[in-house]
Amino acid sequence: MIAALVGYLGDFDLAEEAAQDAFAAAAERWPRDGAPASPRAWLVTTARNRAIDRIRRDRTLAAKLRMLDSPKSAEDDSVESTFPDERLELIFTCCHPALALEAQVALTLRALGGLSTEEIARAFLVPASTMKRRLSRAKRKIRDAGIPFAVPAEHLLPERLAAVLAVVYLIFNAGYGGRVDLAAEAIWLGRALAELMPDEPEVHGLYALMLLNDARRDARIEEGELVLLADQDRSRWDAGETARGREALEHALALGGRGPYVIQAAIASVHMAEPRDWRQIAALYDELVRLTDSYVVALNRAIAVGEADGIEAGLALVDQLDRAGYQYFHSTRADFLRRLGRADEARVEYERALALTHTEYERRFLQRRAAEASR
């Protein structure tokens, strides 16, 4: 029987495995259904079929694992890639929650972004050998643990889509200062997702949010100093990106989107309008606080309320959010106190914020503000 199978399959190992499969099937079925009229023929046929299944499975698996290595071609600027049909499956595999977040990010950049292992390593400031190990371990887990190569079932989709969007947004936010333009990669991924999942408002919301933030990139730093939105040179905003961002936001809202990314994009969009409608911004933050229950969001809401209803009202909210030791709590409080003319208290808060900051831009910015408070 093995010989017959080796002849047919041309592979001894495979033939042996197939024969074992067939015997196992026989052991399960014959006692239940009775032995077939010609047991040998039954075994050979069953073994052949099992072998074909095995070959198919191995082939698709190998092909899929290869896809994790095949980057989009460098000159290919459009979203059309070498594997137009399975990019969505690929991104859900890369962003599977059974993989460590850092591995999800690296795999996504490697498989969909087409970055080299060295580029990814550089962007996240780890040695290339570390990144290589991280990627191979993730690929091995995908294979050995049976992480599916598929778009998740309907009931799992909201949670799994949120994980994908979080990875893309993390890539976007990691984009400052690195030698690799991760922000552009993230926007590219966002656009691909928007094309692949046209009915998901949050996908368009994230795409819009990234475009609107990226549009202001050049105006954010001037002569090495951080520039607040109100003081930014609007002519340096990227008009094309702004328009595309607003368009994506409109689209998300038309789909009935009210999720966290859509609301954040809406906030960014209102911020960029002139004059700024602080009351609307505060209302949007209200909604975002309800959705995310995030401290930072609550702090931003207090800032918006301070602008809409007066600094006193904003400061009262900040005081309720008391979190000593958190840099932005101190800097927000400092700013309100400075504007209320309570210079001494403001200086103390600026000092506290300064002691907590890690970036040079922020340090210089806070020092300037602290000096202004003293005048």
Partner 1 sequence: MKYMLLIHSGRAIRDQFNKLSEVEQKQLLDEYFAISQEPGVLDGNQLHLDDTATTVRVQDGRTLTTDGPFIEMKEALGGYLLYEADNLDAAIELAARIPAARMGGAIEVRPVVER
The pattern of x and - marking residues 145 through 174 that bind partner 1 according to CB under 8 A reads xxxx-x-xx--x------------------
Which lies closer to partner 1 via its Cβ, residue 146 or residue 158?
A: 146
| Min separation Cβ 24 and partner 1, Å | 12
User: Is the Cβ–Cβ distance between 25 and 15 less than 8 Å?
Assistant: no
Angle between helices 311-320 and 327-339 (to 10 degrees): 150
Please report where in the chains the tokens 């702090």 appear, as a residue: 299
Counting residues that bind partner 1 (by CB under 8 A) gives: 11
| Min separation Cβ 160 and partner 1, Å | 9
| Min separation Cβ 159 and partner 1, Å | 11
Which lies closer to partner 1 via its Cβ, residue 61 or residue 126?
A: 61
CA distances from 223 to 192, 219, 374 (A): 35, 10, 24
| Min separation Cβ 144 and partner 1, Å | 5
Q: Three-state SS across the chain? A: CHHHHHHHHCCHHHHHHHHHHHHHHHHHHHHHHCCCCCHHHHHHHHHHHHHHHHHHHHHHHHHHHHHCCCCCCCCCCCCCCCCCCCHHHHHHHHCCCCCCHHHHHHHHHHHCCCCCHHHHHHHCCCCHHHHHHHHHHHHHHHHHCCCCCCCCCHHHHHHHHHHHHHHHHHHHHCCCCCCCCHHHHHHHHHHHHHHHCCCCHHHHHHHHHHHHHHHCHHHHEECCEECCHHHCCHHHCCHHHHHHHHHHHHHHHHCCCCCHHHHHHHHHHHHCCCCCCHHHHHHHHHHHHHHHCCHHHHHHHHHHHHHHHCHHHHHHHHHHCCCCCCHHHHHHHHHHHHHCCCHHHHHHHHHHHHHHCCCHHHHHHHHHHHHHHHC
Asked if 96 is part of the footprint of partner 1 (rule: CB under 8 A), the reply reads: yes
Residues 205-244 that bind partner 1 (CB under 8 A): none
When binding is defined by CB under 8 A, the residue of 33, 144, 199, 293 that contacts partner 1 is 144
| Min separation Cβ 329 and partner 1, Å | 33
Which lies closer to partner 1 via its Cβ, residue 63 or residue 273?
A: 63
CA distances from 141 to 102, 105, 246 (A): 14, 15, 40
| Min separation Cβ 142 and partner 1, Å | 9
The pattern of x and - marking residues 98 through 137 that bind partner 1 according to CB under 8 A reads x---------------------------------------
Asked if 33 is part of the footprint of partner 1 (rule: CB under 8 A), the reply reads: no
Asked if 352 is part of the footprint of partner 1 (rule: CB under 8 A), the reply reads: no
Residues 42-71 that bind partner 1 (CB under 8 A): none
| Min separation Cβ 98 and partner 1, Å | 6
Which lies closer to partner 1 via its Cβ, residue 52 or residue 150?
A: 150
Stretch that binds partner 1, among 67-75, 108-116, 138-146, 162-170 (CB under 8 A): 138-146
| Min separation Cβ 147 and partner 1, Å | 5
Residues 273-332 that bind partner 1 (CB under 8 A): none
Which lies closer to partner 1 via its Cβ, residue 92 or residue 329?
A: 92
Which lies closer to partner 1 via its Cβ, residue 49 or residue 232?
A: 49
Which lies closer to partner 1 via its Cβ, residue 87 or residue 96?
A: 96
Which lies closer to partner 1 via its Cβ, residue 2 or residue 296?
A: 2
Q: Which residues lie near partner 1 (CB under 8 A)?
A: 96, 98, 144-148, 150, 152-153, 156
